[in-house]
Chain A
Amino acid sequence: MEMAHLWGILFLSLHAMVPITLAAIGETIEESAGLFNIGLEGILLLGALAGALGAEASGSASIGLLSGMTAGALVGLLFGWIGTTLRGSQLITGVGINLFALGFVALMLTVLGAPGFHSVSREIQVPLIPLGVGSLSPLVPVTIVLAFAVWWLLRRTQLGIWIRAAGDNPGAADVAGLPVNALRLGTAVAAGMLAGLAGAYLSVDWFGAVTKEITAGRGFIALAIVVFSGLNPLLALLGGFIFGLFDGLATWVATYPGIKEIIPWQFVAMAPYIVTLAVVAGGIGRVRFPKGLGVPYLRE
């Protein structure tokens, strides 16, 4: 096998790593604060749609990404508001977000006149960084930097201490004078923004299209990776890369002449999910989660 193939696989992997990792580190922030948002998949999907529409309306890829982030932030805000102030069930809210996104995106695609598929033209996609051996999306380095930044935020700042206290023992945080619900709401918005960005990346950058299956369970994979990482953003980055690697390998195997005839592509496409499952199953049991995770806080 030539070096070019290796580079190809690596680049495919890094690109596949981005959306999962962005969503996972966002979820890591909010789970640290005690919110459990199972609606990541829905936010990704909405972010993909908003990103495409934003880019098309403005003719700018950056505006597209920002639109995705805004849409994600709004959904995150709604989720956080229900999960804190209204003391609603986070599980039900998350499921609701997923179902809404599924229906809404399908509807919008129909309205746009292309049921099932809406492509984003080449000019308004995120420009790739040309490297000698291939081209890389600027969101790859952004994702890696963000993972380190979030690790630093949670583990090495005063704000991180506050966020984690709100998640592990909201009563203690409250007694210490912290605004528990405001902290949680803030993390929900941040998590929504990151998931929205991940979604917009799918449509405006990586795939250059919106379909109603574009997320392909990546939101759920991200949730699984959060579990595997034990709320460590750096492990989430690693988990995202492992998924990406197998995704990249799968794509390569499915398209490489001589191999694609031997191994059915459907079989290969399964690989990243199975590997993720295996890794998560291996990781569970050793991690601990905040005691207040998923439980609305109420001062008695």
Chain B
Amino acid sequence: MANSAIDPKGQAPKTPVHGQILLEARGLSKGFPGVWKHLILDHLDFDVRAGEVHTLLGENGAGKTVIANILSGYYGKTDGEIRVKGKLVSFDSPRDGLAHGIAMVHQDLMLVGAFTVAQNVMVGLKAPPFSFRLHQVERKLDELVAHYGLQVDPRARVEDLSAGEQQRVEILKVLFHEPEVLFLDEPTSLLTPHEADQLFVVLRAMADEGKGIVFISHKMREVFAVSDRVTVLKLGKMQGTCHISETTEDELTRRTFGETVPDYMERPAVRSDKLAIKVSNLIPQGLEKKAPKSGFSFTLRQGEILGLAGVAGNGQSELIASITGLASPASGQIIILGEDMTKRSPRAFIEKGVAHIPERRREMGIVEQMFVAENVVLKDYRQTPFSRNTVLNHHEITAHAQDIVARFNALVPDLWDTECRILSGGNIQRLILGRETWRKPPVIIASHPTEGLDAKAIRHTWDLFLELREQGSGILLISEDLDEIMSLSDRIGVMFEGAIVGVVEGQDADRELLGHWMAGTAAQAA
């Protein structure tokens, strides 16, 4: 099994797919009761053939995940028929899907953290209740790992593994059942570019064995790296299926999103001498052992976007916690808008004008059990007009929340009746973006701000960030998504093992060099 990276363009076989149709859906429809009037899926025809990687491409909310969930048995369908190798079937549960050789790797990791890899596989085992086949499972996993080059230790505890490794565990989990059709719902969202390339090698190997692979994505680069065929979805409707060799990136982008995303967003030069953030020799809490003695030192001007790329776990969370007041730094100094904010409280940071778009949005960005309107004023409720003399002004809050929801196109059933818990990640992110930016804050610390958003919403967010930048906000952008960093940043640094490598001008940054910095292999690149 080769481990070399795939060139993002090309390499997909140019020959048409002639394999047997493994799974076929005709007139597939799905309507959720209540909130949505239109059908989530509107009479779709879709098939998967042996030996192909078939990509489902579309924005968030296009219905990609719903198709996969229905065809793997997790959701029921409203209408239409499903055939497996020509035979009409109906699925009541994921087990039915598995019994027909159809498996799905979900976008969210569905793993039991306390279990080992093998024990996680056992969760889905159809075995007698008092049997215990751990060793058989481990041995079979050893074989699968070797066969597909998946690089996971079946005996490792899952919560000790990196996100990329956990993703591979998810794939192992379904491969264990030897499926013929495998759905992967945005499997690369947690992976570094290199890990994604490795995954594509595995997917290709599985397809070459005669499996049918359905790859769900909204990233154009990946579509061309791995697909044989691609089906474009938009708002639950088919936009057609075609061979990857018959189409181009521009055409697909137009069909999916209606516009193209530039590599570097043009912007007027904004040069302010005023510093938004000045950090000197900062060693955040939790990095005392990992970080170099000198700590972090960097500046962020007002009207500037500083991008910090890097694989998660290299000190990003700790740095952010320090400069938002969530954790007192072990040592060093933080100056925000000219004021020493070292060891001040989170509230002091908020009142100073530091907006924070956190990485774990469900845990840190919102209170899941609270209603939409409450979450929208989570940082402003103390101020007039949202409250007076500690009494909340319901009317003002409603009007404000309505405004934010409308401006950021959040799909929210009701402001005062919908708990944020039930919203999708993308919609939660829209609310957070609205809440954090509506005051045009002088300092914005944004971690993965567009993760889980579709291309249109990403474009809106980028435009918003540039607009805020022009109006004088200093924006610290921390993201694993190199595309985003490169499109937006005036300057780019890379987080690696508790330090910032580089800082280069954004406009002429070299993707390959940044990639090497991210992987810690800069010396080889030089």
- A interface residues, Cβ below 8 angstroms from B: 156-159, 161-162, 164-165, 168-169, 171-173, 175-178, 288, 290-291, 300
Name A159's closest neighbour in chain B (CB-CB). B129
Find chain B residues with CB under 8 A from A172 CB: 110-112, 120, 123
Q: How far is the CA of A284 from the CA of B414 in the complex (A)?
A: 42
Cross-chain contact B131 with A165 (CB below 8 angstroms): no
Cross-chain contact B129 with A165 (CB below 8 angstroms): no
| Interface membership of B184, Cβ < 8 A | no
Q: How far is the CA of A287 from the CA of B482 in the complex (A)?
A: 39
Name A292's closest neighbour in chain B (CB-CB). B112
Partner among B110, B114, B115, B130 whose Cβ is within 8 Å of the Cβ of A175: B110
Cross-chain contact B106 with A158 (CB below 8 angstroms): no
Contact residues on B (Cβ < 8 Å of other chain), bracket: 20 to 34
Q: Given contacts A158-B133, A300-B422, is CB(A176)–CB(B123) below 8 Å?
A: yes
Cross-chain contact A164 with B112 (CB below 8 angstroms): yes
| Interface membership of B292, Cβ < 8 A | no
Q: How far is the CA of A110 from the CA of B272 in the complex (A)?
A: 84
Q: How far is the CA of A284 from the CA of B335 in the complex (A)?
A: 39
Find chain B residues with CB under 8 A from A159 CB: 129-130
Partner among B94, B115, B125 whose Cβ is within 8 Å of the Cβ of A168: B115
| Interface membership of B113, Cβ < 8 A | yes
A167 to chain B, nearest CB (A): 9
Q: How far is the CA of A165 from the CA of B95 in the complex (A)?
A: 16
Cross-chain contact A168 with B114 (CB below 8 angstroms): yes
| Interface membership of B34, Cβ < 8 A | no
Cross-chain contact A176 with B127 (CB below 8 angstroms): no
What are 21 inter-chain pairs, A to B, with CB distance below 8 A?
A157-B131, A158-B125, A158-B130, A158-B131, A159-B129, A161-B119, A161-B125, A162-B123, A162-B129, A165-B112, A168-B112, A168-B114, A173-B112, A173-B123, A175-B106, A176-B110, A176-B124, A177-B93, A177-B94, A288-B114, A290-B114
| Chain B 404-446 near chain A by CB (<8 Å), digits 1 or 0 | 0000000000000000001000000000000000000000000
Name A163's closest neighbour in chain B (CB-CB). B129
In the A-B complex, list the 6 residue pairs whose CB atoms are closest, starting with the nearest.
Answer: A177-B95, A176-B124, A159-B129, A172-B110, A165-B123, A168-B112
Cross-chain contact A158 with B127 (CB below 8 angstroms): yes
Cross-chain contact A157 with B123 (CB below 8 angstroms): no
Name B74's closest neighbour in chain A (CB-CB). A175
Q: How far is the CA of A177 from the CA of B100 in the complex (A)?
A: 14
Find chain A residues with CB under 8 A from B130 CB: 157-159
Q: How far is the CA of A172 from the CA of B108 in the complex (A)?
A: 10
Name B423's closest neighbour in chain A (CB-CB). A300
Q: How far is the CA of A173 from the CA of B122 in the complex (A)?
A: 10
Cross-chain contact A157 with B74 (CB below 8 angstroms): no
Name B129's closest neighbour in chain A (CB-CB). A159
Beyond A157-B129, A157-B130, A169-B110, 4 extra complex contacts between A and B, CB < 8 Å: A157-B131, A165-B115, A177-B94, A290-B114
